[in-house]
Amino acid sequence: MLSRPKPARTSRTRVVKLGPRFLNAFLFAAEKHAGQVRKASSIPYIAHLMGVASLVLEYGGDEDAAIAALLHDVVEDCGGVPTLKEVRRKFGPRVAKIVDGCTDSYTEPKLPWRERKENYLGHLKTADAATKLVSAADKLNNVRSIVSDYRAVGKSVWSRFNGGREGTLWYYRALLQEFLRHKPDRLVREFALAVRELESQAKRASLRRSKKVK
């Protein structure tokens, strides 16, 4: 059973310096995602990107990883392959590689939901450490948002997702298993706790429905 991670210790030897590239990446992301909001909300989408970048930095990522965190959805949501080329030109091949690894669709219309998610899981198996870091931070931020929304609106939260209740739970369980293939770090342990909280909420809701049926 995974225990709750200990608070991060402040490192005196390794300080990540964020320079003009990080600021430019933030402005680039804000411009590309302008007008976009999180699912079923009025929250600007940039809030999610900031949250993912914050987690990446909190759990040991460098500036390239933090920049990729800000840009991890820009290819999928804002232009496909031409946008990836723009990311490579502006922010370098390493950032572009991480963003590419965090992208599950390049085409419109998109492939069917389940196929996209299975492809993404397949890509994670060979992804490098920086890509897995950004991916895990992205998924942790998403699950925490779902858990929070579940407390507010209940089971109707599942209607926001193409996979519905069962598909969404399957996907996050599968992601957790992939992240756990190697020795879990603090970020993965936090993700495990968040997934289990989501499962617990879904289970409690199912039990309440069963009692009402009886």
pLDDT digits (tens, 9 = 90+) for 66-80: 999 999 999 999 999
Please work out, in degrees rounded to the nearest 5, the angle formed at the alpha carbon of residue 173 by the alpha carbons of 181 and 6: 65
Torsion sign (Cα): 197, 200, 206, 211: negative
Residue 188: the pLDDT is 97
User: In the CATH scheme, what is the homologous superfamily, with its name and number, of domain 20-213?
Assistant: Hypothetical protein af1432 (1.10.3210.10)
Grade residue 10 by pLDDT with cuts at 50, 70 and 90: very low
CB atoms within 10 A of CB 150: 19
Grade residue 11 by pLDDT with cuts at 50, 70 and 90: very low
- Comparing 12-26, 81-95, 149-163, 191-205, the range with the smallest average pLDDT is 12-26
Write out pLDDT tens, residues 40-49: 888 999 999 9
Averaged pLDDT score across all residues of the chain: 90
pLDDT over threshold 60, residue 99: yes
Residue 184: the pLDDT is 86
Grade residue 106 by pLDDT with cuts at 50, 70 and 90: confident
pLDDT over threshold 70, residue 6: no
**Greatest mean pLDDT among 10-24, 51-65, 192-206:** 51-65
SS3 sequence of the chain: CCCCCCCCCCCCCCCCCCCHHHHHHHHHHHHHCCCCECCCCCCECHHHHHHHHHHHHHCCCCHHHHHHHHHCCHHHHCCCHHHHHHHHHHHCHHHHHHHHHCCCCCCCCCCCHHHHHHHHHHHHCCCCHHHHHHHHHHHHHHHHHHHHHHHHHHHHHHHHCCCHHHHHHHHHHHHHHHHCCCCCCHHHHHHHHHHHHHHHHHHHHHHHHHHHHC
CA separation, residue 63 to residues 6, 8, 69 (Å): 24, 19, 10
pLDDT over threshold 60, residue 4: no
